[in-house]
Amino acid sequence: MPADPTSQPIAYSIAEAARMSSLSVRSLRYLLRSGRLGYVKLGRRILIRHADLEALMRKHYVKAAAGLDAEVSIRPNFRAK
């Protein structure tokens, strides 16, 4: 039975995980060495499980404190006194 082409891969290479997460390869290697990101080692190949990458993102998620008001400008107003 062929795999569903729309399904997520179970694991990624370091380069693939970097593309998926918008992190650099160097940052991912640091996270792997420091033990902050789990991985699977098969022979010489290092794979990062989708679940581990997702857990990393969830762990470091920062929720917005307040919603943005479309009527209020976010630019500083230097002319007002």
Confidence tier at 64 by pLDDT (50, 70, 90): confident
If DSSP states are collapsed to H, E and C, what string results for the chain? CCCCCCCCCCEECHHHHHHHHCCCHHHHHHHHHCCCCCCEEECCEEEEEHHHHHHHHHHCCCCCCCCCCCCCCCCCCCCCC
Question: What residue ranges do the domains of the chain occupy?
Answer: 11-59
Q: Using a cut of 0.75, tell me whether the model's pTM lies above it.
A: no
pLDDT tens-digit series, residues 36-45: 999 999 999 9
- In this prediction, residues 58-80 reach a mean pLDDT of 73
Position 3 scores a pLDDT of: 63
pLDDT tens-digit series, residues 46-57: 999 999 999 999
